[in-house]
Amino acid sequence: MLLEIPEILSPQQAADMKAALLQAEWVDGRVTAGHQSAQAKQNRQLPENSPVARELGDMILKALPANGLFMSAALPQRVFPPLFNRYEGGEHFNNHVDNAIRRLPTGGQIRTDLSCTVFLSEPEEYDGGELLIDDTYGAHSVKLPAGSMVLYPSTSLHRVTPVTRGSRVSSFFWIQSLVRDDGQRTLLFDLDMSINRLRQEVGDHDAIVAQTGVYHNLLRRWSEP
């Protein structure tokens, strides 16, 4: 499932983050890439131990639970601390698949079920820089307003096209979901959205209670502690 989620951050929050990030010290983006990705990656990144990255990353982490669409789609169990990257002057990221396992800065590791990008630059501020994500229906081009997020399976082949004007600044991170399988997560998300729509249209009803029970029994069957 590929899902665009509007306004994880407000436009003002995104603008303030971008302004702070543009003043920060950047390093070669290959510092967090695996062997294969490092050959395809050409961008800059904020160091993981940067105080700015930690402060802004915490702001994003606090915003996630407040977004019902995100919570329903991701069913997050663990979230990798958000990182920040910057593309300009022709920088790009060729075809790659994200590493299956990431080491957490605090120790331990996370399985990457879902990849997330939060856009912090407005689309009109730069040319190029589209995130292209492949699935069975072809390539999907994503270039969202500042503060919006795209959520997609980490198994997806994806790339960022060269930025030929301006600066593309964004946050990216990974999620280990309670439900590992993307097809099962998608079914649960569709069912949850259907229940919510029915509740808005008809209010509480025995049939909605029954559907909610089905949802939770499926989640109980498919989730991993």
Backbone torsions φ then ψ of 169, nearest 5 degrees: -115, 135
151, containing H or E segment: strand 149-153
Sort strands 101-103 and 109-111 into parallel, antiparallel or unpaired. Answer: antiparallel
- Is 98 annotated to bind a ligand? Reply is yes
First to last CA, the chain: 22
92, containing H or E segment: strand 92-96
Alpha carbon distance 35, 143 (integer Å): 27
| Cβ atoms of residues 87 and 168 within 8 Å | yes
Alpha carbon distance 8, 56 (integer Å): 13
Query: Which tokens sit at 173?
Result: 């991170």
Backbone torsions φ then ψ of 75, nearest 5 degrees: 45, 60
- Is 168 annotated to bind a ligand? Reply is yes
Query: Which tokens sit at 167?
Result: 């600066």
Alpha carbon distance 147, 181 (integer Å): 27
Q: Using alpha carbons only, how large is the chain's radius of gyration in Å?
A: 18
Q: Which parts are annotated binding residues?
A: 96, 98, 158, 168
Q: Which residues carry a binding-site annotation for 2-oxoglutarate?
A: 168
Annotated binding residues for Fe cation? 96, 98, 158
